[in-house]
Chain A
Amino acid sequence: KAGVTQTPRYLIKTRGQQVTLSCSPISGHRSVSWYQQTPGQGLQFLFEYFSETQRNKGNFPGRFSGRQFSNSRSEMNVSTLELGDSALYLCASSLPSRETQYFGPGTRLLVL
């Protein structure tokens, strides 16, 4: 099976812009989670989607949003970018109610 894919892999934006990141899970995996990784805060959970519904959300401002499509592909959107949003954004998929997650290679976002 193909692994989790994320696009784009690298992105440079300026403050105030918005960005959309995409994630395609492993075939058959309907749960998709998103994480932000920074040197200062480490790995932090953003949100999780299952069957097109957000089931869980981390402690991030409303500028961070996501959605999931009927084929389980997911997107996350960050509006009004701030310098502090520069990070590696990781997507992970899993089978329903299973603990192990399979991660994509990440999208590295730089906000200037």
Chain B
Amino acid sequence: SQQGEEDPQALSIQEGENATMNCSYKTSINNLQWYRQNSGRGLVHLILIRSNEREKHSGRLRVTLDTSKKSSSLLITASRAADTASYFCATGGGGTSYGKLTFGQGTILTVHP
């Protein structure tokens, strides 16, 4: 079963615009991660935010976490055509999760040149 919902399910923007994706989860967490998947290939880890952090940056990525609302958002600034991919949030993985990541349904991002 999925951990939660991501919205929007699909997002279409022009190059240079910002893209914001949201993720909600159901249970308490120690951390939340975001992954990217290009066209049915393997997933690539983007960023991890811990439950005691509210915001984290990595290059053009900004992630926020609101544990009171059980939600996270991923912002990609100044989008490029190469950012076209599916983006997934995931919880778990370490400690007693024993290798189990629980993923959201994902957001399909299309960036038009």
Q: Which residues of A come within 8 Å of B, CB atoms? A: 4, 31-33, 35, 42-43, 45, 48-50, 55-56, 58-59, 88, 90, 92, 94, 97-106, 108
Contact = CB atoms under 8 A, between A and B. Distances in A.
A33 B99 contact: yes
Interface in B23-44: 30-31, 33, 35, 40-44
7 contacts: A45-B102, A50-B99, A56-B100, A100-B45, A100-B48, A101-B43, A103-B44
B94 A97 contact: yes
**Chain B residues touching A, range:** 20 to 34
Interface of B: 1-2, 30-31, 33, 35, 40-45, 48, 88, 92-95, 97-106
B105 A42 contact: yes
B44 A94 contact: no
Contacts of A99: 30-31, 33, 48, 92-94, 97
A101 B95 contact: no
